[in-house]
Chain A
Amino acid sequence: MQLVTERFNEALAAEGPDGVAIYNSGQLLLEEYYTIGKIARAGLGIATIDANTRLCTATTASSLMESFGADGPPGAYEDFDHAECIVLVGHNAAEQSTVLWMRILAAKAGPLRPKVIVVDPRSTLTVSTGADLHLQLKPGTNVALLNGLCHVLIENNTIDSDFIANHTVKFEQFRKIVSQYPPDRVEKICGVPATQLRTAAEWIGRSKTTVTTCLQGVYQSNQATAAACAVNSMHLLMGKIGRPGCAPMQFAGQPSSMNTREAGADGTYPAYLNWEDPQHMRELAKRWKVPVELLGKKPVAAPEIFELCEKGYVKVLWNIGTNPAVSVMNRSTHLRTLNGVFLIVQDCFADTETAQLADVVLPSAMWGEKTGCMTNAERRCTLLRKAVEPPGEARADLDILLDFATRMNLRDAIGKPLIQYTDAEGAFNEWREISRGWIPDYSGMTYQKLAARNGIQWPCNDDHPDGTVRLYADLHFPTEWQISESYEADLQTGHEHTLNEYREKRDPRGRAVFVTAEYQPPIESTDEQFPTLAVSGRQAYHWHTRTKTGKAPQLQESAPGVFVSINATDANRLGVLDGDRVRVVSRRGSVVAPAKVGDVVPPGVVFVPFHYGDLGAEHAANNLTPQVSDPVSKQPVQKVAAVRIERMETTTSREWWQVEESR
């Protein structure tokens, strides 16, 4: 810890706030995120703080901000029980949200028998186990497909004109854009038959209740924010929001990524405060007891943090609870980056790929070894009690953070320690007061109350002491300039209006905003050298970079290694047999793996799971991915990489899936 503080002080003093950065997680606890954010913003004064949630849930936040004024998922899980139609866009629920998928399948057997529509380039387990309709689109074409759905909804007049007139703005611009996407044109762009698109729109439009989910097939793909906003706009078209069974469910990819966003451990300020609003910053400064002049710094997102490291601006990187040596885009470049900075790794495992590159490893406790809260994608906060002591020298992440703050001599404006709480409950109680009166209002929650219930959904305050099932039931949206978290970003550049511009010319005054965009092909495109599109994704048995699941033999046996899923047509053309080793080569790097030949992916597309990334082997899907981010959410585009497939050798032994198939 002494070395850590020495290096932090040296870099901060010599270089300023751009000299250090914190990259944290979507798997810590609320109290830890709040503390990380407070240390970074009120203590160190840095803007270079973000989390790996940038890779999974940043677009959730940006789409909700652009459509409704602020982050905060509108719906609840119980909405799935009330839905007549469920649309999963880029969401392989059967592998990524197994409990939710069981709930959906149970609902299908219930009285409403909801139609399930799956939008995915792959023929996934979700498609085979519960889809009524599969729209198998080409990778990167979500916006065209969603514009097409909205086109047909308007054409069929299955829209809610009163809702549109009374509670939204910019419908005419929206209508003009989607009118350019008749089903025939969408078929040409996406490869989805026009009849299927019409059927989907018919089911969505005729159902009284609809829930639509998005996950990484949207968030990590081309035009991420535009596509997620198009889903929100589709619900606005039909007035399907704020009532049971009606919600655009913009999901979160990790257990506590909601908390990262709420508490300000990612690029945003705590409690969804807007860094550009002087009044927001004044209020935060008052509650934190720090000078307002030192707040209000433009956030720097993770892809930029890694670039700052790469170019040499950031000298010290504190990596907490995440494994970028496998998960970072354009990984081949950034392995050297991680090796070139002074790298502090705080993790509950010492053998992660990132820890192998570290200068200092701070052993931390994992869940079950510490107390704190997690909030899920329906805004439900749950208390997790410590069950066992952490092993060896490991400490709760919160304890490490408190130690750091003390050693760094971080103080408030009147000279008292910046952080005065000493445990998780103390942190939670301070967070309750910080959030009081803002959108994610936790002020009505206590540890005692949480312990007595199966979690509580925010906002929970004096007006809603039992929490709130769904947002926007009053059809009022937080788009006014005084509260809005965004001032309307340009979907192509990410640049926002200034506060003055927004206040004077753009303020929707409590109405939701129709947002969409023209379809633009991915900027990473195929050509003669790289004729195939690679998409990456997850498997049911592993969690992200396998730091935990790779240690569970049952899970490791269920998904033992990397492979390349390839369509039989392409395999035949290349002379590749099932199990042959192939090299997948992109403009940045390559992956060597056995080919799994079949019809899961369409011709022209390959799939590589992203869990595998041993430092000594070419297994990481992110060797292939470009350093391209969505302009608004800054979420890396990890679903579209142009590649070529090179056949290496015919296998002499059977691959794991072949052994099992032959039994």
Chain B
Amino acid sequence: MNPADASWTSLDRQLEPLLAREIAGIAAIDSAMAHESAPDYVVMFQDAKAGKQANVEQMATLVRMLGKTPDETGGVRKTLAKTQSSIASRFGTTQTLQAMRTAETELITLYTECVGRVDGLAKRALRKALGRSLVQSHLLTAHIAKRTRSAAEAGLLPAALGEYFAGADPRACMRCHLDRPGTSGPLERTDPHPYTYLCAACHDEVLAELPPDLASQMDRWPREVREAKVLQHGLGRVSRLNAIGRALHPLAGLEPELPTPAADRAVIVPAMTPTPGPAPTEQLGVLTTDKGEGLEGEYTDQLVAACQVWKHW
């Protein structure tokens, strides 16, 4: 399905409720973030918001391609969601997570229906958005299960709760937002540093992501430097996207999703013609400058006589 196809004409109307719900969801997250004191949950909310923003941008692009203007106001639903979120966050993080999941469940139903009605680029776009929504929903369910110790909630997950949380308490790794088990152990930095937490599984995965030239030198780094390097890399955008595709997709019952590296798509090996140098000229102008006096004059003399400068190269 492409913009020229007749079936696209109704696409913008199909996307309207999804756009409104996603915008409302973002407003609700903003409201929840303002009340959240735990830094790990703030980061989790920021990423949840980023996922919803990505969904909106994808759908907005589809609408713009029709020559129309996407309605990104969120309407009445936004006001309602903000109020609900504000109330829920006053009762605590668990209630906030439950409210967020309720909204996400509605979205999954709508996305699933919509994916079935479209094809082509629109289908690809909505599948991607549905994937984000499913991941988010399972993330929330895992946290709710951990925080409420509810077997029923844990039963909704495709894997045992222990695969999502290794420790006794609910924590949100700042890369994958869970607290998955691993061999290297979790990394944590506290006051005077900004609070930072990376779960054991992410620690392992980030170590494996480091470029080979750096990984080969890692044993020489003091422990603090090594851990800081892992945190720096692990909190970067690439590593966080890797965590979603490699780790969170399977934990949401989805296939792992990783893109094809650019080098595999390269069509020409870059090693071509050198950039042509300047054409030879018979008579070159001479470099000059406004000459000062004293040290300034001596300096400018050297500058225009390049061979004097070469002594310093």
The answer, yes or no, to whether A294 is at the interface (CB within 8 Å) is yes
Contacts of B272 in A (CB 8 A): 356, 615-616
Q: Which of A18, A341, A550 interacts with B262 by CB under 8 Å?
A: A341
Contacts of B264 in A (CB 8 A): 312, 340
* B309 engages A540 (CB within 8 Å): yes
Contacts of B238 in A (CB 8 A): 304, 307-308, 311, 313
* B211 engages A494 (CB within 8 Å): no
Q: Chain A's nearest CB lies how many Å from the CB of B8?
A: 12
Contacts of A497 in B (CB 8 A): 39, 194-195
Contacts of A108 in B (CB 8 A): 295
**Alpha-carbon distance between A63 and B115 when the two chains are bound, in angstroms:** 48
Given known A291-B74, A411-B69, contact A102–B57 (CB-CB < 8 A): no
Given known A16-B128, A294-B56, A336-B270, contact A660–B310 (CB-CB < 8 A): yes
* A490 engages B310 (CB within 8 Å): no
**Alpha-carbon distance between A307 and B236 when the two chains are bound, in angstroms:** 10
Q: Chain B's nearest CB lies how many Å from the CB of A209?
A: 20
Closest B residue to A308 using CB positions: B238
Contacts of A78 in B (CB 8 A): none
The answer, yes or no, to whether A98 is at the interface (CB within 8 Å) is yes
Contacts of B69 in A (CB 8 A): 409, 411, 415
The answer, yes or no, to whether A360 is at the interface (CB within 8 Å) is no
* B235 engages A495 (CB within 8 Å): yes
**Alpha-carbon distance between A304 and B121 when the two chains are bound, in angstroms:** 27
Q: Chain B's nearest CB lies how many Å from the CB of A568?
A: 14
**Alpha-carbon distance between A105 and B58 when the two chains are bound, in angstroms:** 57
The answer, yes or no, to whether B276 is at the interface (CB within 8 Å) is yes
Contacts of A338 in B (CB 8 A): 262, 270
Q: Chain A's nearest CB lies how many Å from the CB of B268?
A: 6
The answer, yes or no, to whether B116 is at the interface (CB within 8 Å) is no
* B266 engages A340 (CB within 8 Å): yes
**Alpha-carbon distance between A615 and B268 when the two chains are bound, in angstroms:** 12
Number of residue pairs A-B, CB distance < 8 angstroms:
315
The answer, yes or no, to whether A523 is at the interface (CB within 8 Å) is yes
**Alpha-carbon distance between A348 and B95 when the two chains are bound, in angstroms:** 56
Which of B260, B281, B312: most chain A CB closer than 10 A? B312
Q: Chain A's nearest CB lies how many Å from the CB of B199?
A: 15
Closest A residue to B287 using CB positions: A554
Contacts of A500 in B (CB 8 A): 34, 36-37, 42
Given known A293-B74, A310-B263, contact A9–B312 (CB-CB < 8 A): no
CB interface residues, B 43-64, toward A, < 8 Å: 43, 46, 49-50, 53-58, 60-62, 64
The answer, yes or no, to whether B231 is at the interface (CB within 8 Å) is yes
* A18 engages B275 (CB within 8 Å): no
**Alpha-carbon distance between A490 and B34 when the two chains are bound, in angstroms:** 22
The answer, yes or no, to whether A603 is at the interface (CB within 8 Å) is no
Contacts of A604 in B (CB 8 A): none
The answer, yes or no, to whether A563 is at the interface (CB within 8 Å) is yes
* Complex interface bits, A340-365 against B, C-beta within 8 A gives 1, otherwise 0: 11000000000111001100000000
Given known A16-B58, A336-B263, A553-B281, contact A588–B236 (CB-CB < 8 A): no
* A541 engages B306 (CB within 8 Å): yes
Contacts of A12 in B (CB 8 A): 57-58, 61
**Alpha-carbon distance between A341 and B265 when the two chains are bound, in angstroms:** 7
Contacts of A336 in B (CB 8 A): 262-263, 266, 269-270
CB interface residues, A 253-293, toward B, < 8 Å: 278, 290-291, 293
* A109 engages B296 (CB within 8 Å): yes
* B72 engages A10 (CB within 8 Å): no
* B42 engages A45 (CB within 8 Å): no
* A309 engages B50 (CB within 8 Å): no
**Alpha-carbon distance between A336 and B279 when the two chains are bound, in angstroms:** 30
Contacts of B235 in A (CB 8 A): 493-495
The answer, yes or no, to whether B223 is at the interface (CB within 8 Å) is no
Q: Chain A's nearest CB lies how many Å from the CB of B270?
A: 4
* Complex interface bits, B220-246 against A, C-beta within 8 A gives 1, otherwise 0: 111011001101100111100110000
Given known A493-B196, A657-B310, contact A13–B124 (CB-CB < 8 A): yes
* Complex interface bits, B186-225 against A, C-beta within 8 A gives 1, otherwise 0: 0001001111100000000000000101101100111011
Q: Which of B74, B189, B274 interacts with A490 by CB under 8 Å?
A: B189
Closest A residue to B132 using CB positions: A16
Closest B residue to A300 using CB positions: B237
Q: Chain A's nearest CB lies how many Å from the CB of B87?
A: 18
**Alpha-carbon distance between A628 and B261 when the two chains are bound, in angstroms:** 20
Q: Chain B's nearest CB lies how many Å from the CB of A529?
A: 10
**Alpha-carbon distance between A598 and B310 when the two chains are bound, in angstroms:** 11
* A490 engages B268 (CB within 8 Å): no
Given known A294-B72, A552-B278, contact A490–B193 (CB-CB < 8 A): yes
Given known A129-B299, A559-B306, contact A339–B266 (CB-CB < 8 A): yes
**Alpha-carbon distance between A106 and B294 when the two chains are bound, in angstroms:** 8
Contacts of B287 in A (CB 8 A): 554-555, 558
Q: Chain B's nearest CB lies how many Å from the CB of A296?
A: 8
**Alpha-carbon distance between A492 and B189 when the two chains are bound, in angstroms:** 11
Q: Chain A's nearest CB lies how many Å from the CB of B177?
A: 14
* B60 engages A45 (CB within 8 Å): yes
Given known A13-B121, A312-B261, A495-B196, contact A105–B295 (CB-CB < 8 A): yes
* B42 engages A498 (CB within 8 Å): yes
Closest B residue to A314 using CB positions: B262
Closest B residue to A307 using CB positions: B238
Q: Chain B's nearest CB lies how many Å from the CB of A494?
A: 6
Among A31-39, A120-128, A420-428, A455-463, the stretch that binds chain B is: A120-128
Among B23-31, B134-142, B147-155, the stretch that binds chain A is: B23-31
**Alpha-carbon distance between A308 and B295 when the two chains are bound, in angstroms:** 49
**Alpha-carbon distance between A596 and B73 when the two chains are bound, in angstroms:** 64
Which of A124, A296, A627: most chain B CB closer than 10 A? A296
**Alpha-carbon distance between A409 and B63 when the two chains are bound, in angstroms:** 10
Contacts of B263 in A (CB 8 A): 310, 333, 336-337, 339-340
Given known A300-B237, A309-B262, A554-B284, contact A335–B270 (CB-CB < 8 A): yes
* A614 engages B265 (CB within 8 Å): no
Contacts of B300 in A (CB 8 A): 102
The answer, yes or no, to whether B271 is at the interface (CB within 8 Å) is yes
Q: Chain B's nearest CB lies how many Å from the CB of A94?
A: 7
Contacts of B128 in A (CB 8 A): 14-16
Q: Chain B's nearest CB lies how many Å from the CB of A316?
A: 11
17 A-B interface contacts by CB (under 8 A): A45-B56, A47-B50, A48-B237, A94-B303, A124-B312, A127-B312, A294-B56, A312-B258, A336-B269, A340-B265, A356-B275, A408-B64, A492-B231, A493-B189, A493-B228, A497-B195, A660-B306
Q: Assuming A125-B309, A563-B313, what are 17 further A-B pairs, CB within 8 angstroms? A: A15-B128, A16-B128, A105-B294, A291-B23, A293-B27, A294-B72, A312-B265, A335-B270, A492-B231, A494-B232, A500-B34, A523-B217, A524-B217, A600-B311, A627-B213, A631-B232, A660-B310
Residues of B within 8 A of A (CB): 23, 26-27, 30, 34, 36-37, 39, 42-43, 46, 49-50, 53-58, 60-62, 64-65, 67, 69, 72-74, 78, 121-122, 124-125, 128-129, 174, 189, 192-196, 211, 213-214, 216-217, 220-222, 224-225, 228-229, 231-232, 235-238, 241-242, 258-281, 284-287, 292-296, 298-300, 302-303, 306-307, 309-313
